[in-house]
Amino acid sequence: MAAARVRNGGRPTLEEVAARAGVGRGTASRVINGSPRVSEATREAVEAAVAELGYVPNRAARALAGNRTDAIALVVPEPETRFFAEPYFSAIVRGVGAALADTEMQLLLTLAGNDRERRRLAQYLTAHRVDGVLLVAVHADDPLPELLEQLGMPCVISGARHAAEPLASVDSDNFDGARAAVEHLITRGRRSIATITGRLEVYGAQRRLDGYRAALAAAGLPPDERLIAPADFTEEGGARAMRELLARRPHLDAVFAASDVMAAGARQVLREADRRIPEDVALIGFDDSVVARHMHPALTSVRQPIEEMGRRMAQLLLEEIAGRVGEERPTVVLPTELVVRDSS
C-alpha cells in the first residue's frame, strides 16, 4: 500500500493530501493546523487523506504555524505616493492602531505598489512571519488574497472585491452614500449631474457609480454616459476627468466625485474654466476628509467612518487569529452620512 500513498515513492506532500481530499491546499492546511474555519465534512475528508497517504507534517513548519509572532501586517497594495497623498489611508491606520492599543500585537505597515515589493511580501507571508493580514484598497484581480487563502493565513480586507467576497471584510455603504449625494443635488435643482468615478476594478468604486445611476433613475433623469468619467482616486485624475466632462458637456451643473481628493482636482479645473462653485456647478466629494473641510468653498461630502472601519477590521482579525470565526467569514457594512457644506 505504501507505493499507492505517494507519487514518486517519496514523502507525501500537503498538495497530495489536498488533492486526495478534493480541497485546496489552504483548506488542507487549516484542518491539519486545527483551525475551526472548516466544515465537519471537510475535516473528515482531509483527515482520511492524511491517514491514507501517511502524511506527516514537517515539524519545523508545524512549529512555525503553531507559534504566535504577535504581529499583524497592514498591507496596502499601492505606491508610496498615493498612500501619503490620501487621508483615507492614515485614518485606517489610526483605527487599526486604536484597536491594537491594548493588545500585545505589533503592527507592521507594508506598501506593495510594484511587482518587486509584491514578490518580497509574498516571500515574507509564506514564511508565516505574522499572525494575520489586513488588506487595504485591494483590487479585484489582486493575487494576494488567494495567496493568503492558500497559506491558511487569517485575513480581513477593507471592502469586498465583488458581491460574493469569501474573505472577512469591512466597508462603508458606498451605494447608499453615492445615492444620497446625487439625491441632494437633484433636490437643489441640478439636472445635468456628472460623476468622476474611482478605478472601476475596485468594487467600492463600482458601487458608488451604481448609487449615482440609481438616484438619477429614481428621479426620472435619463442616463447619459458622457456625464461619467473614470479616474483613479488621485487629484490629477480628478482634474483630467473634469476636463473631459467639460469638453463633452460644457453646460453640466453638478459633479459628484467619488473621493474628496478627486473633487479637489475637479475644483481647480472648474475655476480655470471660470465656473463658479456652487452657483454654476455644485460639487460633492466622498470621504469627508480634512481635504473637504479645508477647501474653499467647503466641500459637501459623504462621510464614511474610516477610523471605525480600521478598528472593526483589526477586531475581526484578532477574532480570526484566536479561532473565534467559523468558515463563514463576516461582512461588515457601516453606514455613511452626507455632510452638507457650501459647495452644493
Segment 234-288, tens digit of pLDDT: 999 999 999 999 999 999 999 999 999 999 999 999 999 999 999 999 999 999 9
Residue 3 lies in a domain: no
ω into 278 cis (within 30 of 0): yes
- Domain identity same for 22 and 49: yes
Domain of residue 266, residue span:
174-303
Asked whether residue 4 is assigned to any structural domain, the reply reads no
CATH number of the domain bearing residue 97? 3.40.50.2300
- 127-157 pLDDT, tens digit each: 888 989 999 977 777 888 888 888 888 999 9
Torsion of CA 290, 295, 299, 301, to 10 degrees: -20
Cα–Cα dist 240/52, whole Å: 61
Number of domains within the chain = 3
Q: Which of 53-62, 109-118, 143-152, 330-339 has the highest mean pLDDT?
A: 330-339
- Answer yes or no: do 330 and 240 share one domain: no
Place of cell 473633487: 263
Phi, psi for 157 (deg, rounded to 5): -115, 155
Are both 106 and 119 inside the same structural domain? yes
Residues 162 and 270 in one domain: no
- Does residue 151 sit in the same domain as residue 183? no
| Bond prior to 77 in cis (omega within 30° of 0) | no
DSSP state, 72?
Answer: E
Query: How much is the average pLDDT of 105-119?
Result: 86
In-domain check, residue 261: yes
Q: Which residues of 209-238 are buried (b: 16+ CB within 10 A; e: fewer)?
A: bebbbbbbeeeebeeeeebbbbbbbbbebb
Task: Write the DSSP assignment of 143-200 as a string of letters.
Answer: SHHHHHHHHT--EEEES-SSTT--SEEEEE-HHHHHHHHHHHHHHTT--SEEEEE--T
The HSE-up count of residue 99 (CA atoms within 13 Å, CB side) is 21
Q: Are 78 and 117 in a shared domain? A: yes
Which cell numbers in the block locate residue 148? 493568503
Give the predicted TM-score (pTM) of the model.
Answer: 0.76
Residues 76, 166 share a domain: yes
Answer with the residue of higher pLDDT: 194 or 48: 194
**From residue 268, how far is each of 90, 188, 276, 290 by CA, in Å?**
24, 23, 11, 17
Q: Give me 26's grid cell.
A: 489552504
Distances (CA, A) of 192 to 169, 225, 248, 251, 263: 35, 12, 12, 8, 17
